[in-house]
Amino acid sequence: MVDPPKFGERKKKVILFSLDEIDILLNTSEKKLKNFLGISFFTGMRSTELLALKWDDVDFATDTVSITKLFLRVT
């Protein structure tokens, strides 16, 4: 069993990419990876949500993406 965090316990500091770093990554990536990274950086979707996306989930008329499933790898 996992112990819950203690009150006042510090969490690990998360270091985010700066906008300049994101710009470098997007400008030096190949098209498919560039699209994946762009959606990742600017939507907050989890990788399992991104990997499960289908074109039916994207609505260009309303500029929305519907998250309806997760990509789960079964071994």
Percent of the chain having pLDDT more than 90? 47
Percent of the chain having pLDDT more than 70? 91
The pLDDT of residue 11 is 72
pLDDT band at 5 (very low <50, low <70, confident <90, very high): low
Instruction: List the structure tokens of 65.
Output: 């993406």
To the nearest 10 degrees (0 to 180), the angle between helices 19-27 and 31-43 is 160
**Beta-bridge mates of residue 64:** 59
The pLDDT of residue 32 is 87
**What span, in angstroms and rounded, lies between the C-alpha atoms of 66 and 12?**
31
Q: What is the pLDDT of residues 25-45, one digit of tens each?
A: 999 999 989 988 998 999 889
> The pTM is what?
0.63
